[in-house]
């Protein structure tokens, strides 16, 4: 059975809970501000032990038939579905998002596991007979070895499930370093995988901070690293991992724009933007943080609708089933986001809705901040340039769709964007030309389903391959091409000095 310690969160190495590291960090309930657990922070020796366990498990797991690997993941998927309510509660208790939001996260993670159970089909190679006289050629996809994943606090279940299920489906072993802010859900997942029959050492979890990250990035036995987090850290992970000869995919920050055209269904657009901007308290890499309103009338109608909807939005503990938005993850994040709001006011943006004074009954010490809505935001402002990662939405006014696209293209981030319109021609032109990796048309959060791949452009992604989906198979495998010829018995052959071809 899956268990969690009521006081201390350890690591999971070689199939067992393990201590390691002398430093600790507090884990909070964001709704109350209370410390609920103490987390052991892995030191370099702890990380090395986890990598050793993964390395030792690799030969046997690599030799396991893809169908048998898939069956383990299928059992894991069933267990996940049976215990998704318990997992959702763990997420809400430590991350702060509403239970409905946590359940949605878990469901998206389950879909990624389901895709990984298709490993026998996904790993089929390519074969061509008679590429030359009596010569056949084929390719196969082979595992890399020990892989690592470094995951963020905002999706403590879904993002790990983007990574390790596909990695192990491909025959690799894995070391996961989840966020130190909400570590219980990733540990729950790992123990559930053991219960499903995943052999000890195939998946290991080390909790820690930069010391653990750098130990993974510099260990020569780690072949590949997947990362999701802020752009400065993504750059560090990519540069350090690549310098040590690793394959790296590092997904960074975002500043996602929604373009609202004059012909948009304004009521539906407002509802969509409310969830996209303020769901998970804005702590999503796909959150809409900027609306580009095309036309003054469009901006006026949008702001009126948003103000009315924000007035009805209920903020409170995520475990309260009636709440629309929970707290931020930590006191430090709360103060950081509040500082951005202060900065926006100082820069001259019009603060239409001010959530800084929000008080939640019976939770005076929770990390709450109400929704904030800015109008007349300019591209030169800090609140426009930087990723805020909180419930702050800014409105930029432009005159045309071309101006809107130019604003988006000029931003250094290129994760996600969307357009609200009834004009098919405008939508098609925008989707084709905008310099962003994921585009929604009347869809505010264009997060690809599990059998497509997730990733942005520009400074939102470092590396060549996107996360999960078909790109994950390529990331977690190496292609090997074999060319074979069996000469006929007794046939004379002449020495050839020219470069081989099919001529």
182 in a structural domain: yes
Is residue 285 located within the same domain as residue 244? no
Q: What is the pLDDT of residue 386?
A: 97
Exposure class string for 174-192: b at 16+ Cβ within 10 A, else e: bbbbbbbbbbbbbbbbbbb
Instruction: Determine the distance from the C-alpha atom of residue 289 to the mean position of all C-alpha atoms in its chain, rounded to a whole number.
Output: 17
Residues 421 and 379 in one domain: yes
- Residue 5: what pLDDT? 43
Residues 42, 45, 47, 49: is their CA dihedral positive or negative? negative
Measure the CA–CA gap between 17 and 10, rounded to whole angstroms.
6
Same domain, 318 and 182: no
Is residue 41 domain-shared with residue 20, that is, in the same domain?
Answer: yes
| Phi, psi (deg, nearest 5) at residue 171 | 100, 5
Q: Residues 158, 173: one domain?
A: yes
3-state secondary structure at position 284: coil
Query: pLDDT per position in the chain (503 positions), as tens?
Result: 344 445 899 999 999 999 999 999 999 999 999 999 999 999 999 999 999 999 999 999 999 999 999 999 999 999 999 999 999 999 999 999 999 999 999 999 999 999 999 999 999 989 999 998 889 999 999 999 999 999 999 999 999 999 999 999 999 999 999 999 999 999 999 999 999 999 999 999 999 999 999 999 999 999 999 999 999 999 999 999 999 999 999 999 999 999 999 999 999 999 999 999 999 999 999 999 999 999 999 999 999 999 999 999 999 999 998 999 999 999 999 999 999 999 999 999 999 999 999 999 999 999 999 999 999 999 999 999 999 999 999 999 999 999 999 999 999 999 999 999 999 999 999 999 999 999 999 999 999 999 999 999 999 999 999 999 999 999 999 999 999 998 776 555 677 777 776 66
Calpha distance 277→290 (Å, rounded): 9
d(CA 282, CA 288): 8
- The residue behind tokens 């702590």 is 283
499 part of a folded domain: no
330 shares its domain with 238? no
Question: Which pLDDT does position 361 carry in this prediction?
Answer: 93
Please indicate, yes or no, whether residues 193 and 309 belong to a single structural domain of this protein.
no
Domain presence at residue 1: no
Asked if the structure places residue 422 within a domain, the reply is yes
Tokens representing 81 are: 């579905």
Please tell me the predicted confidence (pLDDT) of residue 500.
72
Structurally, how many domains does the chain consist of? 2
The edge-to-edge listing of strands for the beta sheet with 34-41 is 8-9, 34-41, 23-29
DSSP 442-470: S-S--PPPTTS-B--EETTEESSS-BSHH
Q: Is 373 exposed, middle or buried (0-12, 13-18, 19+ CB in 10 A)?
A: buried
- Confirm if 163 and 151 have CB atoms less than 8 A apart: yes
Instruction: Decide if 163 contacts 450 (C-beta within 8 A).
Output: no
HEC per residue, 71-108? HHHHHHHHHHHHCHHHHHHHHHHHHCCCHHHHHHHHHH
Q: What residues contact 44, with CB distance under 8 A and at least 6 apart?
A: 211, 212, 215
Pairing of strands 247-251, 256-260: unpaired
Same domain, 318 and 239: no
Note if 170 is an active site residue. Answer: no
Establish if 2 belongs to a structural domain.
Answer: no
Q: Residue 68 in contact with residue 202, Cβ under 8 Å?
A: no
Same domain, 401 and 434: yes
CA–CA gap between residue 251 and residue 373 (Å, rounded):
27
- Are residues 110 and 196 in contact, defined by beta-carbon separation less than 8 angstroms? no
User: 117 and 35, same structural domain?
Assistant: yes
- Considering the domain architecture, whether residues 279 and 405 belong to the same structural domain is answered as yes
Residue 115 belongs to what domain range?
8-252+461-482
502 within some domain? no
Residue 53 in domain = yes
Of 147, 170, 281, 285, which residue is the catalytic one?
285
What CATH number has the domain bearing residue 141?
A: 3.40.605.10
Please tell me the pTM assigned to this model. 0.94
The residue whose two tokens read 């709001």 is: 341
| pLDDT the model gives residue 4 | 43
Please state, in angstroms and rounded to a whole number, the distance separating the CA atoms of residues 10 and 16: 10
User: What is the domain-level CATH number for residue 359?
Assistant: 3.40.309.10
Query: Residue 496 domain-assigned?
Result: no
Do 139 and 284 reside in the same domain of the chain? no
Q: Are 407 and 397 spatial neighbours (Cβ–Cβ below 8 Å)?
A: no
- Amino acid 327: pLDDT: 98
């Amino acid at each position: 059975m899956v268990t969690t310690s009521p006081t201390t969160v350890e690591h999971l190495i070689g199939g067992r809970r393990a201590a390691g590291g002398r430093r600790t960090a507090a884990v909070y309930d964001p709704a109350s501000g209370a410390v609920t657990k103490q987390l052991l922070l892995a030191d370099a020796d702890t990380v090395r032990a986890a990598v050793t366990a993964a390395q030792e498990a690799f030969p046997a797991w690599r030799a396991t038939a893809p169908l048998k690997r898939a069956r383990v993941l299928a059992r894991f998927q069933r267990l996940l579905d049976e215990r998704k309510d318990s997992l959702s509660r763990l997420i809400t208790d430590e991350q702060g998002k509403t239970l409905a939001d946590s359940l949605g996260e878990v469901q998206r993670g389950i879909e990624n596991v389901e895709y990984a159970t298709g490993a026998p089909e996904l790993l089929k190679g390519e074969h061509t007979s008679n590429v030359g006289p009596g010569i056949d050629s084929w390719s196969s996809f082979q595992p890399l070895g020990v892989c690592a994943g470094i995951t963020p606090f905002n999706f403590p279940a879904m993002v790990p499930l983007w990574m390790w299920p596909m990695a192990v489906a491909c025959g690799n072993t894995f070391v996961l370093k989840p966020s130190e802010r909400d570590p219980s859900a990733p540990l729950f997942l790992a123990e559930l995988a053991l219960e499903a029959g995943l052999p000890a050492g195939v998946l290991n979890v080390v909790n820690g901070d930069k010391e653990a990250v750098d130990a993974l990035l510099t260990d020569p036995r780690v072949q590949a690293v997947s990362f999701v987090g802020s752009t400065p850290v993504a750059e560090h992970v990519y540069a350090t991992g690549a310098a040590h000869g690793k394959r790296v995919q590092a997904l960074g920050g975002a500043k996602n724009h929604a373009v609202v055209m004059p012909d948009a269904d304004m009521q539906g657009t407002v509802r969509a933007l409310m969830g996209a901007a303020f769901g998970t308290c804005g702590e999503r890499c796909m959150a809409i943080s900027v609306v580009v309103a095309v036309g003054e009338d469009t901006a006026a109608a949008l702001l009126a609708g948003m103000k009315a909807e924000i007035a009805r939005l209920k903020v409170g503990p995520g475990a309260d089933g009636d709440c629309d938005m929970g707290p931020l993850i930590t006191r430090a994040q709360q103060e950081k986001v509040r500082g951005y709001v202060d900065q926006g006011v100082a820069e001259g943006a019009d603060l239409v809705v001010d959530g800084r004074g929000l008080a939640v009954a019976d939770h005076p010490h929770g990390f709450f901040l109400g929704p904030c809505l800015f109008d007349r935001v300019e591209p030169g402002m800090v609140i426009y340039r930087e990723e805020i990662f909180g419930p702050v939405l800014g409105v930029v006014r432009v005159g045309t769709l071309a101006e809107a696209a130019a604003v988006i293209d000029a931003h250094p981030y290129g994760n996600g964007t969307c357009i609200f319109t009834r004009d098919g021609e405008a939508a098609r032109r925008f989707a084709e030309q905008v310099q962003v990796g994921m585009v929604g048309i009347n869809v505010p959060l264009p997060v690809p389903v599990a059998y497509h791949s997730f990733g942005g452009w520009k400074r939102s992604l470092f590396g060549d391959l996107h996360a999960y989906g078909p790109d994950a198979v390529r990331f977690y495998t190496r292609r090997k091409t074999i060319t074979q010829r069996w000469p006929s018995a007794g046939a004379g052959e002449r020495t050839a000095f020219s470069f081989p071809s099919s001529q």
